[in-house]
């Protein structure tokens, strides 16, 4: 076993114990982190042949649904956030979406918005839901079980219905960035920069998996796919945020893998537009000082998001613009090497976000569980 896989196992083992997945501690579930963690366990199963990793992926899916698909313990509401009866909710746990897992209760109706406090309040984020759809889709591909595909499509349909809206009759659809736990009211009405893109690529991916499994389990996604596509403005996707850049690169690689089974000039054109946006953003980002700052002044998980995106470069050799992109491959090594150094993970800035940092570093070390979609 190579050193990268060994370190990934160590990181994921500590995460599993610390968050109550393999210990008696109360479950501490957080949707974004757990989505990456599921993919990591699948990657470790494939890398080692040890079935205990696949068992942890399954256990984590079950625990996320038992925790984040239900109302909080400090909420007067009980049961599934979808409102489904107990038994039906067990069959369709994602039909009402999934809570973020933030420490504070969501902002109540009529309660004024506090921008700082809102970051720690619960609710539902669209871009977290798409990450969980992706994790469920990876479970479906890895196990061949249609159930996971159905849950992913249930979640996609619920998210599309709740997060998209027409500002006025006949107007171009928009999206909310954050919704209430029960998906009945917006908590932050502005639209996330890449939310329509996340929705579109994920819907295409879920449809491809349903075809590969020979079963269109769950609701149809044609309307959702078309709505998300109508909201994408390719010329406005560039960003210099490392996590956002990583997301663009991941989407380029996802589309490249999906093209053989759903070839489309529009899809290939979007891939090329995303790559152009990513190249522009990379140049701007690397002109800044971020990667030269000391560890206490850096946010590891955002940089690791970029490294994860850069891990897919090798699979883009046939794409126009590959030569330009390949020049940035050393940035992945630079980020990984910095955060693999034990001294850089002993600082308060790392420990304050230890779960997400550990999991995303593990994703960097064994990226195929997250990056492969077909």
Q: Could you tell me if 160 and 199 are in contact, meaning their C-beta atoms sit under 8 angstroms apart?
A: yes
* Portion of the chain with pLDDT greater than 90, in percent: 94
Greatest Cα-to-Cα distance within the chain, rounded to the nearest angstrom: 59
163 CB contacts (<8 Å, ≥6 apart)?
Answer: 126, 175, 176, 179, 195
* Average pLDDT for the chain: 96
Radius of gyration of the chain, Cα coordinates, nearest whole angstrom: 20
Bridge partner list, 186: 179
Tell me the per-residue pLDDT of 58-71, one tens digit each, with 9 for 90 and over: 999 999 999 999 99
Tell me the per-residue pLDDT of 231-287, one tens digit each, with 9 for 90 and over: 999 989 999 999 999 999 999 999 999 999 987 789 999 999 999 999 999 999 999
Strands 124-125 and 178-179: antiparallel
The DSSP 8-state label assigned to residue 146 in this structure reads: H
Distance CA 217, CA 154 (A): 9
Tokens (6 digits) for 6:
């060994």
Q: How confident is the model at residue 122 (pLDDT cuts 50, 70, 90)?
A: very high
Q: How confident is the model at residue 217 (pLDDT cuts 50, 70, 90)?
A: confident
pLDDT at 138 (0 to 100): 98
Q: Could you tell me if 93 and 69 are in contact, meaning their C-beta atoms sit under 8 angstroms apart?
A: yes
Distance CA 10, CA 32 (A): 20
* pLDDT surpassing 80 at residue 77: yes
Tell me the per-residue pLDDT of 148-195, one tens digit each, with 9 for 90 and over: 999 999 999 999 999 999 998 888 899 999 999 999 999 999 999 999
Model-wide pTM > 0.85: yes
pLDDT at 263 (0 to 100): 74
Tokens (6 digits) for 213:
């499994």
Tell me the per-residue pLDDT of 9-42, one tens digit each, with 9 for 90 and over: 999 999 999 999 999 999 999 999 999 999 999 9
CB atoms within 10 A of CB 76: 6
Tokens (6 digits) for 230:
């109508």
pLDDT at 218 (0 to 100): 81
Tokens (6 digits) for 342:
């034990």
Distance CA 321, CA 171 (A): 36
Domain spans of the chain, in order of start: 97-107+121-231
Backbone angles phi, psi at 173, to 5 degrees: -65, 150
The DSSP 8-state label assigned to residue 104 in this structure reads: B
Backbone angles phi, psi at 358, to 5 degrees: -60, -45
Count of residues for the chain? 374
Distance CA 247, CA 310 (A): 10
Distance CA 123, CA 200 (A): 22
* Portion of the chain with pLDDT greater than 70, in percent: 100
Bridge partner list, 174: 165
Q: Could you tell me if 217 and 150 are in contact, meaning their C-beta atoms sit under 8 angstroms apart?
A: yes
DSSP 28-94: ---HHHHHHHHHHHHHHHHHH--HHHHHHHHHHHHHHHHHHTB--TTSS--SBTT---HHHHHHSTT
Distance CA 218, CA 156 (A): 10
Q: Could you tell me if 227 and 181 are in contact, meaning their C-beta atoms sit under 8 angstroms apart?
A: no
Bridge partner list, 104: 121
pLDDT at 265 (0 to 100): 80
């Amino acid at each position: 076993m190579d050193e990268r896989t060994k370190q990934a196992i160590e990181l994921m083992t500590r995460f599993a114990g610390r968050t109550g997945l393999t210990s008696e501690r109360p479950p501490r579930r957080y949707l974004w982190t757990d989505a990456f963690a599921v993919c990591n366990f699948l990657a470790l199963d494939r890398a080692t042949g040890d079935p205990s990793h696949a068992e942890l992926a399954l256990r984590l899916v079950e625990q996320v649904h038992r925790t984040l698909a239900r109302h909080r313990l400090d909420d007067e509401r009980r049961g599934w956030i979808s409102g489904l009866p107990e038994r039906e909710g067990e069959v369709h746990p994602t039909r009402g979406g999934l809570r973020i897992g933030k420490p504070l209760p969501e902002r109540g109706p009529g309660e004024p918005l506090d921008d700082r406090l809102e970051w720690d309040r619960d609710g539902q984020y669209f871009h977290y839901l798409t990450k969980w759809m992706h994790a469920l889709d990876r479970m479906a591909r890895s196990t061949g079980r249609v159930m996971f595909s159905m849950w992913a499509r249930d979640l996609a349909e619920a998210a599309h219905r709740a997060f998209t809206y027409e500002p006025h009759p006949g107007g171009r659809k928009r999206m909310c960035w954050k919704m209430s736990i029960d998906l009945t009211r917006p908590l932050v009405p502005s639209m996330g920069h890449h939310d329509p893109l996340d929705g579109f690529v994920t819907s295409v991916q879920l449809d491809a998996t349903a075809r590969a499994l020979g079963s269109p389990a769950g609701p149809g996604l044609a309307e959702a796919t078309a709505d998300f596509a109508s909201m994408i403005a390719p010329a406005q996707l560039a960003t210099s945020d490392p996590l956002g850049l990583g997301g663009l690169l991941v989407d380029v690689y996802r589309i490249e893998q999906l093209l053989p089974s759903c070839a489309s000039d529009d899809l290939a054109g979007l891939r090329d537009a995303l790559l152009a946006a990513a190249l522009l953003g990379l140049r701007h980002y690397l002109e800044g000082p971020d990667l030269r700052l000391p560890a206490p002044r850096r946010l590891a998980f955002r940089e690791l998001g970029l490294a994860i995106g850069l891990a897919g470069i090798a699979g883009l050799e046939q794409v126009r613009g590959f030569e330009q992109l390949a020049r940035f491959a050393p940035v992945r090594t630079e980020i990984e090497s910095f955060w693999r150094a034990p001294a850089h993970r002993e600082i308060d800035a790392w420990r304050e976000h230890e779960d997400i940092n550990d999991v995303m570093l593990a994703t960097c070390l064994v990226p195929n569980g997250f990056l492969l979609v077909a």
